[in-house]
């Protein structure tokens, strides 16, 4: 596999394209892989990103934004990685408040409350890393979000970071709530809490509190990490793209028919519901 710094160009390689098509096929079928075949398997983070870069073309999708996986020490330990992983949010996978989704083919069956930022200005690749003030100046809005992750690997816990990056950092579905009131910029987000609940036909089945400091100490720090991770790969942030920064609470186990809400207090609420039957993937 190529190790050239331009990830978008590396995705043109036949090996990366084949690996991306294989992963996309399993994603759409809701089926799982034990692992990518040896000839297609990325060995490094860079090679993993080169495979991931081929997913939009493999599925005929647009990149609507980015997600970050493993932004807590517990999350990193769970999947055996040394740091966060970046993944693409693709068209058809991002939904609005109150969306009804299917769990068909989903092996994880969890929901994660997250802070998401939408950009209003571009951050093009450059030699120097971006600073926090530059990144926040480019942000247009903050949104409460719920991620429904999944992996194309049956044993994602032991797939390794190169394969997990190729697997779009376990991206699957994301529900974005309405934009938070503008005073969010003056808040100490590190201390901001989120109350998440899972309801079934009997009522509230699971309640959990999260705090923003679980996300690399501060969701804004995670956002800065994402921007500079992409910058190092030669990838620009584009106006209109959203970045979901990782779960601020332990994942909530869900099943068909459940409804999930997350209350971010002054920053708003976000909810989703799952179909009663498996339905279409």
**Eight-class DSSP state of 231:** H
Is residue 146 assigned to a domain?
yes
Q: What is the mean pLDDT of residues 42-47?
A: 96
Of the pLDDT bands very low, low, confident and very high (cuts 50, 70, 90), residue 6 is low
Beta-carbon contacts of 38 under 8 Å, excluding residues fewer than 6 positions away, are: none
Residue 106 has pLDDT above 80, yes or no: yes
Residue 85's domain is classified under what CATH number? Answer: 3.90.850.10
Q: What is the mean pLDDT of residues 249-271?
A: 98
Is residue 280 assigned to a domain?
no
Q: What is the mean pLDDT of residues 200-226?
A: 97
Domain total for the chain?
1
Least confident of 76-80, 140-144, 216-220, 269-273: 76-80
Residue 137 has pLDDT above 50, yes or no: yes
Is residue 86 assigned to a domain?
yes
3-state secondary structure at position 212:
helix
What's the gap between Cα 261 and its chain centre? 18
Residue 278 has pLDDT above 60, yes or no: no
Residue 160 has pLDDT above 80, yes or no: yes
Q: What is the mean pLDDT of residues 230-242?
A: 98
Residue 33 has pLDDT above 80, yes or no: yes
- Residue 206 and residue 258: Cα distance in Å, rounded? 10
Residue 3 has pLDDT above 50, yes or no: no
Domain limits for position 52: 7-274
Residue 142 has pLDDT above 70, yes or no: yes
pLDDT for 12: 52
Q: What is the mean pLDDT of residues 158-162?
A: 96
Rounded alpha-carbon distances, angstroms, from residue 195 to 25, 123, 208, 271, 279: 36, 33, 6, 12, 29
- Residue 265 and residue 144: Cα distance in Å, rounded? 10
Of the pLDDT bands very low, low, confident and very high (cuts 50, 70, 90), residue 2 is very low
- pLDDT (tens digit per residue) in 52-98: 999 999 999 999 999 999 998 888 988 999 899 999 999 999 999 99
- The average confidence (pLDDT) of the chain is 94
pLDDT for 82: 87
Asked whether the beta carbons of 239 and 258 are under 8 A apart, the reply is no
Q: Write down the pTM of the prediction.
A: 0.93
Of the pLDDT bands very low, low, confident and very high (cuts 50, 70, 90), residue 119 is very high
Is residue 188 assigned to a domain?
yes
Q: What is the mean pLDDT of residues 140-147?
A: 98
Q: What is the mean pLDDT of residues 118-143?
A: 98
DSSP string, 28-85: HHT--BSS--GGG---SHHHHHHHHTTHHHHHT--EEEEEEE--SHHHHHHHT-SS-E
Q: What is the mean pLDDT of residues 185-203?
A: 97
pLDDT for 74: 84
């Amino acid at each position: 596999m190529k190790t050239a710094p331009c990830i978008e160009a590396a995705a043109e390689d036949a090996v990366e394209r084949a690996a991306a098509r294989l992963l996309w096929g399993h994603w759409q079928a809701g089926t799982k892989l034990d692992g990518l075949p040896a000839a297609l398997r990325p060995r490094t983070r860079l090679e993993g990103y080169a495979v991931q870069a081929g997913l939009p073309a493999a599925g005929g999708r647009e990149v609507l934004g980015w997600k970050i996986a493993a932004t807590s020490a517990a999350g990193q330990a769970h999947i055996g990685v040394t740091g966060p992983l970046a993944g693409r949010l693709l068209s058809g996978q991002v939904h609005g408040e109150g969306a009804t989704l299917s769990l068909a083919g989903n092996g994880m069956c969890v929901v994660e409350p997250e802070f998401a930022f939408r950009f209003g200005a571009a951050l093009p690749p450059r030699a120097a890393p971006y600073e926090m003030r530059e990144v926040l100046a480019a942000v247009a809005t903050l949104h409460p979000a719920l991620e429904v992750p999944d992996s194309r690997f049956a044993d994602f816990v032991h797939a390794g970071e190169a394969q997990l990056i190729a697997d779009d950092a376990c991206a699957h579905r994301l529900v974005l709530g309405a934009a938070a009131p503008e005073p969010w910029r003056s808040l100490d987000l590190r201390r901001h809490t989120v109350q998440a609940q899972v309801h079934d036909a009997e009522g509230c089945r699971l309640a959990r509190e999260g705090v923003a400091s679980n996300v690399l100490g501060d969701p804004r720090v995670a956002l800065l990490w994402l921007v500079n991770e992409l910058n190092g790969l030669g990838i620009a942030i584009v106006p209109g793209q959203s970045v979901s920064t990782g779960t601020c609470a332990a994942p909530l186990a869900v099943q068909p028919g459940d409804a999930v809400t997350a209350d971010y207090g002054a920053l708003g609420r976000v909810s989703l519901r799952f179909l009663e039957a498996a339905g279409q993937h």
